[in-house]
Structure 1
Amino acid sequence: MKKIGFLSFGHWANHPAYRARTASDTLLQSIDLAVAAEEIGLDGAYFRVHHFAAQLASPFPLLSAIGAKTKSIEIGTGVIDMRYENPLYMVEDAGAADLISGGRLQLGVSRGSPEQVIDGWRYFGYQPAEGETDADMGRRKALEFLDKLKGVGFAQPNPYPMFPNPPGLLRLEPYSAGLRERIWWGAATNATAVWAAENGMHLQSSTLKIDESGKPFHVQQAEQIRLYKEAWKKAGHQREPRVSVSRSIFALITEQDRQYFGHDTKGEDKIGFLEADQRAIFGRSYAGEPDQLIKDLAQDEAIQEADTVLLTIPNTLGVEYNVHVLSSILKYVAPGLGWR
């Protein structure tokens, strides 16, 4: 059994073929899609966060709105770039969104990936400390975020406050119990997956990974997941770890499906460079008739290791079509793989 969610990058553009042509379109359609996904039995609604782009960027208003209009579906991110964040303010936003949703937030965070502008986090007022890289800064902020989510007081109260204070040091409010245990780390390397396990975060592994061995993407990703699980066990955490992998999977059911995705039935991994010295491997997409998809996906080692599969969706094609895409996986593919 696996949890199945969708992952939306939240694109929009004034393109005649797009149903999401404005930021308003994308935000409102994201809410509608999450509601519809819950109705068809999907387990999660997840959203990517990108700055300086015509994509979703500020997750907490969206997550709160979805939390208010749904009852059971997990709501999350994949991922928030911590280089851009104020960890304390984020604790307040995340706590509020989690309380609105009744404790359904599953927040994916990370050190971040290359963005639309050079050192975009500098425009947000942040810079690495002396001797730090921007990646170090992202991880440091993530650890501060985790620490403050514990709800332990750390701030000295004013002796003459506007309102009476409880005794002792003050914590950030609103505090949402349990949220600390629902934070995920988006890891692109084996080392950061191990680091996530040591710090008690669940693991998100996407369709991109630093190429560390030259092996096929799904094999490298499966090895990363196994290293993560070993590190989690060694750390002695008293709860079960969770692991998600992202995949682009399209069942060709209708002529419209074949028109959109029928040309990509022989998907292969791709090699590229995230930065000048970072060779990355990008996992293949899966498109085909349901029987062929079941055979292909059964050979994906990383999917076998994960408990959650996040289906990346073409959000610009609108809510109705994406409900069809997700429903097709649930109806025609998931049962044949034992996911349902």
Structure 2
Amino acid sequence: MPINKLGFLTIGLFDGADPRPGHESTLEIIQLGEQLGFDSAWVRHRHLQYGISSPVAVLAAASQRTSRIHLGTAVIPLGWENPLRLAEDLATVDLLSGGRLEPGVSVGPPMHYDRVKPALYPDTEEDFSYERVARLLRFVRGETVTDAGVEGFEVFSNRIEPHSPGLGGRMWYGGASLRSARWAGENGMNFLTSSVVKAEESEDFAQIQLSHIRTFRAANPGGRVSQGLVVIPTDSASAEQRAKYEAYVEARTPRTTTPQGPARMLFARDLVGPSSQIAEQLAAHAAFPEVSEVAFALPFSFDHEDYVQILTDIAGTLGPALGWTPT
């Protein structure tokens, strides 16, 4: 099917010794995305690294520099978050953006939990199951939290405030397994599937991703699905940029040949080359024809001018080749 919603995803790298320019670059890239007609811009979430650690704050700033483009998180790992506080922040930014927030979340223990627990949860044992997502959904959707009522001059709400009525329908789950795809569908979420999946059924990435999409849709036929592969069009790239991009892909390709680690995570191969070639590769991908929304991932370690070139080629050449029309 043709792509009717085209987005991109960035990690928002910055220099630890001077972090502001990297954050400004991310905001400028989001502004450029709106100017180019993209439907959505998504930011990754990185803790204790040199990438965006507070995507909701960054998207609050982006909401004031843009007027149309939707703003997403792909994804916020809820193991690091208090669902009640996060629900307040999400609703606030959604209202500030005029209803453009697309929050994507995932669940599970924080990365390197044994090392970060003393700083993150020194006095408590936390539940990192799907119930943590369910709590967030209840709060975002306006279900009752307390019955505090009125106390003297103070008036309390029984739900999270502010409440943003449409936000509950724009919640996404970032899943890499059949179980996650099914759970997201059964709980009325949308489904983000990216360039990594669990090799549960086979070692064919596209076929695994296809099974996740169909499992989600069986549970939630009206839910939205977005696919996020790494694509690097080179139509307007300089010779130096093309060499840089090809070296990047070559270095990452070995991890795509077999499942990685105890969890058997399988990575998709990055797609680099002219837009016409990438469009042909996507058309031959078993899962890609099943979606009408994409959020193509920008490579982690490139420079600002590289992202400008890549986004310009995606919007101007690759997107239209996939049936997309700029907004």
TM over 0.5: yes
Return the match for 1:260 from 244, 262, 283: 244
1:1-340 alignment to 2 at 5 Å? 1-2=2-3, 3-13=5-15, 22-112=18-108, 115=111, 118=114, 120=116, 123-125=119-121, 128=125, 134=128, 136=129, 139-157=130-148, 159-165=150-156, 170-233=158-221, 240-253=222-235, 254=237, 255-263=239-247, 264=249, 269-274=256-261, 277-314=262-299, 316-340=301-325
Query: What CA distance in whole angstroms lies between the structure 2 residues aligned with 1:183 and 1:122?
Result: 30
| Structure 1 residue 315, shift from structure 2 partner | 5.7
Query: What CA distance in whole angstroms lies between the structure 2 residues aligned with 1:89 and 1:5?
Result: 27
Between 1:208-217 and 1:89-98, the stretch displaced more is 208-217
- 1:259-310 CA deviation, whole Å, 9 max, x = no partner? 2213448957333435xx3111101100112322221111112221122211
**Kept after mapping to 1: 8 A contact 2:203/2:258:** no
Query: What CA distance in whole angstroms lies between the structure 2 residues aligned with 1:309 and 1:93?
Result: 25
Aligned residue type for 1:7: L
Aligned residue type for 1:144: R
Query: What CA distance in whole angstroms lies between the structure 1 residues aligned with 2:92 and 2:66?
Result: 16
Q: Quick one: structure 1 residues 152 and 331, their matched pair in 2 at CA, closer, same or farther if it must change by over 3 Å?
A: same
Query: What CA distance in whole angstroms lies between the structure 2 residues aligned with 1:297 and 1:72?
Result: 27
**Kept after mapping to 2: 8 A contact 1:64/1:97:** yes
Query: Alignment length, in residue pairs?
Result: 317
Aligned residue type for 2:197: K
Aligned to 1:311, the other structure's residue is in SS state: strand
With structure 1 as the length reference, what TM-score do the two structures score? 0.86
Query: What CA distance in whole angstroms lies between the structure 2 residues aligned with 1:44 and 1:244?
Result: 11
Aligned residue type for 1:53: Q
Aligned to 2:103, the other structure's residue is in SS state: strand
Q: Quick one: structure 1 residues 189 and 160, their matched pair in 2 at CA, closer, same or farther if it must change by over 3 Å?
A: same
Aligned to 1:181, the other structure's residue is in SS state: helix
Aligned residue type for 2:299: P
**Kept after mapping to 2: 8 A contact 1:32/1:319:** no
Between 1:206-215 and 1:96-105, the stretch displaced more is 206-215
Q: Which runs of 5+ in 2 are unaligned?
A: none
- 1:53-107 CA deviation, whole Å, 9 max, x = no partner? 1111111111111111111101010010111111111111011100010000000
Q: Quick one: structure 1 residues 117 and 144, their matched pair in 2 at CA, closer, same or farther if it must change by over 3 Å?
A: closer
| Structure 1 residue 31, shift from structure 2 partner | 1.0
Aligned residue type for 1:218: A
- 1:128-173 CA deviation, whole Å, 9 max, x = no partner? 45xx6x4x2xx221110100112233312254344345xxx62121
Aligned to 1:247, the other structure's residue is in SS state: coil
Query: What CA distance in whole angstroms lies between the structure 2 residues aligned with 1:27 and 1:270?
Result: 34
Q: Quick one: structure 1 residues 161 and 85, their matched pair in 2 at CA, closer, same or farther if it must change by over 3 Å?
A: farther
Aligned residue type for 1:163: E
**Kept after mapping to 1: 8 A contact 2:186/2:219:** yes
With structure 2 as the length reference, what TM-score do the two structures score? 0.89
